[in-house]
Amino acid sequence: MYALFIVLNETDYLDEILARFVDIGVRGATILDSQGMASAIVHNENKNVPLFGSLKTFLDGARPYNKTIFTVLESEELVERAVEAVKDVLGDLSRPGAGFMFSVPIGRVYSLTKTE
């Protein structure tokens, strides 16, 4: 089993990615509202954190929030299909600010459902 994490900066693509996941057999995912560290620093009310002028100017235009999607997948093959689905939806992933993905192997999964 594997966990796939996607930090999606371009949140307009969220629904399309989830629809593609359903099409390829991903049975569930969790979506969290998230914010990157640089964005948090730039958009913080407390402006006491020093930043180089050009870096601050660059980050001022960045989206302040993103979505983090994570899902547990049964096989490496399904991870690859999910990664390809995200790539197909987003297009050129080499452009700055698209986001990033990573997977990690899982030792065990424990259900938290109540048994009677």
* pLDDT at residue number 111: 85
Mind listing the pLDDT tens digit for each residue in 15-70?
999 999 999 999 999 999 988 877 666 666 555 655 555 555 545 455 568 999 99
Please give the Cα distance from 65 to 52 (Å, whole number): 22
Full-model pTM? 0.78
Mind listing the pLDDT tens digit for each residue in 62-115?
556 899 999 999 999 999 999 999 999 998 777 777 788 999 999 998 888 887
Contact 3, 60 (CB under 8 A): no
Sketch out the chain's domains with CATH numbers.
2-35+67-105 (3.30.70.120)
Buried b (16+ CB within 10 A) or exposed e, 1-40: ebebebbbbbeebbeebbebbeeeebeebebeeeebeebe
Quote the percentage of the chain above a pLDDT of 90. Answer: 52
* pLDDT at residue number 55: 52
Please give the Cα distance from 73 to 79 (Å, whole number): 6
Q: Which one is predicted more confidently, 111 or 2?
A: 2
What is the CB-side half-sphere exposure of residue 114 using CA atoms within 13 A? 1
* pLDDT at residue number 68: 96
* pLDDT at residue number 46: 56
Q: Which one is predicted more confidently, 1 or 42?
A: 1
